[in-house]
Amino acid sequence: MTDREQSTGIAVDSAEVKHARKRYRAERRFRMYGVAAIAAAAGMLALLVISIVATGWTAFYQHSIALDVTFEAKVIDPKGGRDPSVLARADYRKLARASLRKLFPDVKKRGDKRKLYGLLSIGVDQQLAELVAADPSLIGQTRRVEIYASDDVDSFLKGFIDREAPESDRRIKDKEIAWLDKLETDGAITSHLNLRFWTKGDSREPELAGFWGAMVGSFLTLLVTLALSFPVGVLAATYLEEFAPKNRWTDIIEVSINNLAAVPSIVFGLLGLAVFLNFFGLPRSAPLVGGMVLALMTLPTIIIASRSALKAVPPSIREAAFGVGASELQVVTHHVVPLALPGILTGAIIGMARALGETAPLLMIGMVAFIVDIPGSVTDPATVMPVQIYLWADSPERAFVARTSAGVMALLGFLMLMNALAVILRKRFERRW
């Protein structure tokens, strides 16, 4: 500043300098607004992430109660045939209850007994059945088995239930607390990673509910969406941008596509319900139909992104290719589309990410059903991650709160993965011209 003043001989307090200072102040102010806006956005994001992680992280581990279970042959397999179907249907709950009674012999009253049994998850029979199915030689032996605690016990052990609260306000009563304390001092209560969450389907019991079914459902649904919307979208965009004559009809088509991109997603769900389910009779709750509905929803996004990517290819490249005698199709397939590919892929992945997080249209076609099995194909009943989150958020059990947040974390993880993929693809295919 001083150099300039000396060389040009301008007085420091001239009107010109004052005006310049004012401009610099305005510029600084503008930058500050920008920084403030970004800080506010980042703060809100951090708040969201922190609140989700804080409520959700407890869903990633789980408590079990270790019991010495005697696999009595007369309960499991009275005939001794070792027939798998007989083994699967045996009353394993009885075995677990017997070992509980052995630990607490002075519990005699019917109601107390029921409470005692309630410490264990309802899934105990399935858990023991799986053990026996894997190794039938267990029958007749006594083994220490870690059995899932029920969701209330799990919540209590995680500290969500206050033992000082009046008994009537607690889901875990004084007696149960006493039993649990005894188990704790015996070292029978263990905690471990909640693998079920990543390997199983939904359940009515929070301690048994897993997210894997929804993840597979989302994967199958997105597969259908991608297979339908990407080729159709890219072909439509290429035709409209490169081949179609510019006239009233193509104008109408363009306006319609832009309008479709703004249609609320539930409308696509209603369309799917009316057309795919009621008219074509396709299976309800299936990833096939979900994928088709989401493909309809994603198509405009992909077409618009692809068209702008194609438009951004410089005309000089087209001229160069025409100049050496490439046909129109060769110009498009050899030059224009490869150059537009990063933009097209980015558009497609962002469309897919939006489809991954979509709930409303899938409610309309029945993907909101309670589905325990892991879907094996696109026609099996399934649910998807956001719908699973919605279902859990709607459940009254305390332990589902943490699972809802855990599901949100998993969903956000996948979204971040997809967006990272978009960035990587963009970098990889980007070429200078």
Smallest separation (angstroms) from other proteins to the CB of 243: 11
- At closest approach, how far in Å is the CB of 316 from other proteins? 4
Q: How far is the CB of 315 from other proteins (least distance, A)?
A: 9
Dist. CA 22–CA 16, nearest whole Å: 10
**Are 224 and 379 in contact, with CB atoms under 8 Å apart?**
no
% helix, strand, coil for the chain, step of 5: 70, 5, 25
Q: Which residue from 334, 296, 327, 295 is spatially nearest to 313, judged by alpha carbons? A: 334
Q: Which residue in 399, 276, 298, 277 sits closest to 352, CA to CA?
A: 298
DSSP string, 86-155: HHHHS-HHHHHHHHHHHH-TT--SHHHHHHHHTTB-TTHHHHHHHHHHH-GGGTT-EEEEEEEBPHHHHH
CB of 425 to other proteins, least distance (A): 17
Least gap, CB of 331 to other proteins (angstroms): 9
Nearer to other proteins by Cβ, of 249 and 370: the residue is 249
User: What's the min distance (Å) between Cβ of 231 and other proteins?
Assistant: 24
Cα(196)–Cα(274) distance, rounded to whole angstroms? Answer: 37
Q: How far is the CB of 324 from other proteins (least distance, A)?
A: 4
Amino acid at the residue 53: V
Task: Provide long-range contacts, Cβ within 8 A and 24+ apart, for 314-318.
Answer: 314/433, 316/433, 317/433
Collapsed DSSP state (helix, strand, coil) of residue 63: strand
Q: Which residue has the tokens 């007994």?
A: 113
CB of 230 to other proteins, least distance (A): 23
DSSP structure class, residue 65: E
Judged by CB, which is closer to other proteins: 68, or 430?
430
Cβ neighbours of 271 (radius 10 Å): 18
- Minimum CB–partner distance for residue 421 and other proteins (Å): 23
The angle at the Cα of 375, spanning 374 to 378, to the nearest 5 degrees, equals 165
Residues that bind other proteins (CB under 8 A): 245-246, 314, 316-328, 330, 334-335, 339, 431-433
Smaller CB separation from other proteins, 109 or 428: 428
| CA-to-CA separations, 244 to 5, 49, 240, in angstroms, rounded | 61, 47, 5
Least CB distance to other proteins at residue 432 (A): 5
**Closest distance of CB 250 from other proteins, Å:** 11
DSSP summary character for residue 337: H
Smaller CB separation from other proteins, 195 or 252: 252
Write down the residue that tokens 């304390």 correspond to. 181
Crossing angle of the two packed helices 15-56 and 399-429, in degrees rounded to 10: 130
Q: Report the distance separating Cα 301 and Cα 267, nearest Å.
A: 16
- HSE, side-chain direction, 13 A CA sphere, residue 54: 6
Nearest CB to other proteins, comparing residues 12 and 324: 324
Query: Which tokens in the block code for residue 273?
Result: 């319900």
Between 63 and 335, CB nearer to other proteins = 335
